[in-house]
Amino acid sequence: MKVVHPICAGIDIHKRSFTVAIATTKKDGTYSTKVKTFSTMQKGIAQGREWIIENNCYTVALESTGKYWIPVYDRFEDFFDLTLANPRFTKHFPGNKTDRRDAKWLSELHRVGMVAKSFIPPRDIRELRELTRYRVKLIKMRSSEKNRAHNSLIISNIMLSSVATDIFGKSGMNIIEALIAGTELDEQALSTLVCGKLRSKIPDLLEALDGTMSQLQKDKIRIILDNFISLSEKIAKLELLILEKVKPYQQIIDLLCSLPGVKNTAAIGIIAEIGVDMSAFYSDKHLCSWAGVSPQNYQSAGNRRNVPAKSGMDTLHPCLYSVPTLQSKKPVLGSPTGLSQSRPGEDAARPLLPPVGLCLLLFTILYQGKSLIGNLKKLHISLLPGRRS
């Protein structure tokens, strides 16, 4: 096979140590391998870096093992041409597996250019990504606390959620606090606790609140509310950090928000996951495939089978499906451009493209950097059944 990298290194990383194998190609086409193991402590990483440089090697492939690859990657980034390999595509043949063999196998694959490069954005985008992903986790934790509060109220036969749209709004929180305090809730008391449109539903509230809350449920809801308030405060602080981090990309965020349905939060999430440099993807189809919004290829004996889109980036999909354009029954990408069609027994406003197709369309537009409406019909044609490229 053709040698792509005459001198290259493969790194197998673990929690306490990482093993480096340097493959050096000779003039006759054969190659020799040097293998050495280093500690993952700061000193060990520096020693490994110096050893690789001493062997005149500046092309390195390392396996993405959990989070253990990140410290090594961060400290090698400014010195080498790094390729982060997905272990799924670099597995060694089963049997007789060792760290040294894994490192040597990775260097052999990288030597002939058989290690696909994973997309790793620049350091500032990675830091933004870390904040946005943490925000999503905190929001999920807060949602779990909300569900626990709902369950406690239902157990107590207090059907507040049947009347109030959001029991964690101002009126809902006032009512819950009164329930915990043991306040008797009559029509006069509720008139001072609720506000807005909920004031017209006081008779319904009196009926919904006619339940019995035990001391256990009161104590439990108090703890739940404390966690809810604490998580809300942490999310607010995290959002301030995110807004500070995205200041250099405000112009790009404004451009993303010019697309129908894309709001500030979704725009920041998209930037955090795919970055701002589209040259990292060699085509719009590559970007769509990486994001997991395009069908996979499955062709055998001249027959092409329908297969679903691959999983893609699980952290990117929530950003996409939070865009109202992709979820609305009457999306902005629908009838105004003539892309909706009616079928017998179906709603005339039903969008022709499914959410995955609309995501693909969105990514194609993001990659090409062109106007939405001017290219919508042309891009839509390639997504019609039987016209896949």
For residues 10 and 106, is the Cβ–Cβ distance under 8 A? yes
Amino acid, single-letter form, for residue 76: F
Q: Does domain 7-111 have CATH number 3.30.420.40?
A: yes
Segment 268-292, tens digit of pLDDT: 988 898 888 888 888 878 887 787 7
3-state DSSP call for residue 181? Answer: helix
Q: Which among 338, 348, 323 has a CA at the least distance from the CA of 377?
A: 338
State the pLDDT at residue 298: 76
Segment 138-196, tens digit of pLDDT: 999 999 999 999 999 999 999 988 888 888 989 989 999 999 988 888 888 888 888 88
Question: How many angstroms separate the Cα of 209 from the Cα of each of 125, 179, 191?
Answer: 49, 9, 14
Tokens of 264: 């500030």
CA angle (180, 182, 184) in 5-degree steps: 125
Q: Which among 199, 207, 208 has a CA at the least distance from the CA of 162?
A: 208
3-state DSSP call for residue 87? Answer: helix
Residues 6+ apart with CB under 8 A from 267: 252, 253, 256, 257
CA distance 347 to 261: 22
State the pLDDT at residue 56: 93
- How far does CA 311 lie from the centroid of its chain? 11
User: How much of the chain exceeds pLDDT 70, in percent?
Assistant: 80
Segment 244-277, tens digit of pLDDT: 999 998 888 888 887 777 788 888 988 898 888 8
CA distance 121 to 307: 29
State the pLDDT at residue 319: 73
Architecture (CATH level 2) of domain 125-245: Orthogonal Bundle (1.10)
Question: H-helix or E-strand containing 61?
Answer: strand 59-63
For residues 10 and 21, is the Cβ–Cβ distance under 8 A? yes
State the pLDDT at residue 307: 72
Residues 6+ apart with CB under 8 A from 272: 125, 128, 129, 131, 132, 133
This model's pTM is above 0.85 = no
Q: Which residues of 284-299 are buried (b: 16+ CB within 10 A; e: fewer)?
A: bbebbbbbbbbbeeee
Beta bridge partners of 63: 85
Question: H-helix or E-strand containing 307?
Answer: none
Tokens of 122: 């620049």
- Rounded to 5 degrees, what are φ and ψ at 348? -65, -25
Residues 6+ apart with CB under 8 A from 97: none
Q: Is the pLDDT of residue 347 over 60?
A: no
Conformation bin of residue 86: beta by default, left when phi > 0, alpha when psi is -120 to 50: beta
CA distance 51 to 36: 9
For residues 317 and 362, is the Cβ–Cβ distance under 8 A? no
CA distance 375 to 367: 13
- Map out the domains of the chain as residue ranges: 7-111, 125-245, 249-381
User: How much of the chain exceeds pLDDT 90, in percent?
Assistant: 41
Q: Give 97-148 as a DSSP string.
A: --HHHHHHHHHHHHHTT-SPPPP---HHHHHHHHHHHHHHHHHHHHHHHHHH
